Structures are given as structure tokens and as C-alpha cells.
Chain A
């Protein structure tokens, strides 16, 4: 089944610095979803990417889907303390099973 490798596992930045997390698959993906989980919280859906080369923005967050639909990235510009949490990419395996990447834990020094 489809799996994704997500890097880095951890990222610590100074507030105001940028942050990027990457997900890579060895197979072509039909779509990819991104979730954020705050410390002590639950995953919250951020976005879904479907089209090859797609780029979507949500305020300071930029999501990209690779041209070959095998990789994706989430970039945060000028991080704020509210961005702290773990960011997961997730892909569908089969028709219904959502498989999460290992996640990137973002910590921020204010």
C-alpha cells in the first residue's frame, strides 16, 4: 500500500523564521492531505491537494503537490508561536484507509 516518508522529524526555529516539512512517496498519489495536531490536541484537517503541481495558500501556509504527484510540502512563512504542533501529511491506501506520515514536530523559540 501507499506509504509516505515525512521529514524532518523535528524542527526548532526562532519565531519569525520559516519552516518547511516534506512528504515523499515512491508511488504516484491520488491526493494528499495535511493535518496539524497541537500539543495535547487532536489532528485538524488543513488542506487536500489533488492536482499535479498544485499550489495552495492559507495565509502564511503554502502547500505544494509535486508535478509527478509523488511529493508534497508545507511551508510556513514567518512562524508564530501559534504554529507550534505536529504537522502530518496523509495519503489514502486502498479506498478508505488514511495513512499518516510520521509527522514533523515544530517547536518555536519566542
Chain B
């Protein structure tokens, strides 16, 4: 059972669409993360929010826009994506944003760009 909930589980969208991925955790964690994972590759960090503030943006294209409305929620807004953006998008959380904390991952959203 995962304690990090992601919706939707699957998403197919055209390159001109706007959609949002959502992530929620109720473990009281204060750090939340977005990762992108291509098939047979490791997860790659995109964004880190620590105490609801964006602390890391790994030079992600502006067509990906993160948002952290509160300490339990994390969104990823998508606009004008490219076919190479098709991947599994994973949300994770940890107790704090320091590097010695385990990260808890959601099931991910499998995104396909047509």
C-alpha cells in the first residue's frame, strides 16, 4: 500500500492540451518531489519542494510547472508537451528535505503524448 497517492494513473494527451498531475500525502512530510522515469531507466529528479517552497528545479522545461498549494498536495501542470515527455511521473515525499531521509513514492502517472 502506498501512502502517497497520485492521480490520474494514466494520461494520454495531445501536444496542445493542458493537464495536471496531482499528488497527495498525509504523513506530515514537509518535502515533496517530482521525478520523471523513462522505461528501463532510473528516476530523474525534476523538482523539490521543501516546506511548500520550491527549493530545486533541475532545469526542467517551462512546459512543466509545479505547484505546492499546501504541505500535503503537489501538482504538476503540463502544457504543450512533446512526445519525448512520455514517461512515468513519480511523486515522492520525505519527512524533511534533508538528504538522510527515505523517500516514499506514489504509484506514478503513466503519461503518453500523442
Contacts and interface: CB of A to CB of B under 8 A. Distances in A.
A60 interface: no
Given A42-B2, A43-B43, A96 B98 contact: yes
Contacts, number: 59
A83 B97 CA distance: 30
Interface residues of B, number: 27
Given A41-B107, A42-B106, A103-B42, A92 B99 contact: yes
B81 interface: no
Contacts of A88: 42
A42 B105 contact: yes
B103 A42 contact: no
Contacts of A92: 99-100
Interface string B37-77: 00011111100101000011010000000000000000000
Interface of B: 2, 31, 33, 40-45, 48, 50, 55-56, 58, 90, 92, 97-100, 102-108
18 contacts: A30-B100, A31-B100, A33-B103, A42-B2, A42-B90, A42-B105, A43-B103, A45-B104, A48-B100, A50-B100, A88-B42, A92-B99, A96-B55, A96-B97, A96-B99, A97-B45, A97-B56, A100-B43
